[in-house]
């Protein structure tokens, strides 16, 4: 009985955050999964089968995330910051904004920070606790501060799975047993 009540509580929490994201985001192509607290900006564009385990996406820059995106706990995307080269110290009232683009089939580890101007290519994997500041190419495996590419996924294997449409996705039914 208690297990069922806990699962029901988690389901209600998920539904609440998913509704909140759907109301705030500029566009959502399809299914989303918000396992924990998720905040997005009104300049957020999400693909289909986007899964967050808690995230904060904010700023004045456009944030675009492709299909089949999965992020572990603690993802933060910052697309704008105070203008530190303005007319006052340490910063003035102005903002510097840069867009963030994340491709399809990207997997982001725990506590990753992605800054404005970052571009992450299709199929990339970002290691936990990394800071992404620039361009990460398709199929790259990157990590560190700033994130640097240290390996690549097997391209033939990736293409085979993509052509077969073998996507990982969450279903509430998987968690009710």
Q: Which domains occur in the chain, in start order?
A: 2-166 (2.160.10.10)
Report residue 7's pLDDT band, with 50, 70 and 90 as the boundaries: confident
3-state secondary structure of 98: coil
In degrees, rounded to 5, the angle at the alpha carbon of residue 24 between the alpha carbons of residues 29 and 39 is 100
How far apart (Å, rounded) are the C-alpha atoms in residues 25 and 95? 21
CA dihedral sign, ordered 114, 119, 122, 126: negative
Could you read off the pLDDT of 26-64 as tens digits, one per residue? 999 999 999 999 999 999 999 999 999 999 999 999 999
Residues in the chain: 177
pLDDT for 5 equals: 65
CA dihedral sign, ordered 140, 127, 53, 19: negative
pLDDT for 11 equals: 86
Contact between 138 and 120 under an 8 Å Cβ cutoff? The reply is no
Could you read off the pLDDT of 122-132 as tens digits, one per residue? 999 999 999 99
How far apart (Å, rounded) are the C-alpha atoms in residues 123 and 107? 7
3-state secondary structure of 2: helix
Report residue 6's pLDDT band, with 50, 70 and 90 as the boundaries: confident
107 forms beta bridges with 70, 125
Q: What phi and psi values does residue 10 have, to the nearest 5 degrees?
A: -65, -40
pTM: 0.91
Could you read off the pLDDT of 74-94 as tens digits, one per residue? 999 999 999 998 899 999 988
Q: Just list the catalytic residues.
A: 82
Average pLDDT over residues 6-13: 82
What is the distance, to the nearest Å, from the Cα of residue 28 to the centroid of all Cα atoms in its chain?
A: 13
């Amino acid at each position: 009985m208690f297990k069922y009540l806990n699962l029901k509580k988690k389901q209600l929490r998920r539904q609440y955050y998913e509704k909140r994201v759907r109301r705030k985001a500029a566009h959502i192509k399809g299914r989303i999964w918000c396992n924990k607290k998720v905040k997005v900006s009104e300049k957020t564009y999400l693909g289909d089968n986007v899964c967050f385990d808690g995230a904060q996406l904010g700023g004045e820059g456009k944030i675009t995330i492709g299909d089949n995106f999965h992020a572990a706990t603690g993802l933060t995307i910052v697309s704008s910051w105070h203008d530190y080269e303005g007319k006052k110290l340490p910063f003035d009232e102005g903002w510097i904004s840069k867009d963030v683009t994340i491709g399809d089939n990207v997997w982001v580890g725990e506590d990753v920070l992605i800054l404005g101007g970052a571009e992450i290519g299709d199929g990339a994997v970002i290691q936990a606790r990394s800071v992404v500041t620039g361009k990460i190419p398709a199929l790259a495996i990157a990590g560190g501060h700033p994130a640097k590419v240290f390996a690549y996924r097997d391209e033939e294997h990736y293409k085979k799975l993509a052509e077969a449409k073998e996507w990982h996705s969450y279903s509430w039914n998987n968690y009710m047993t």
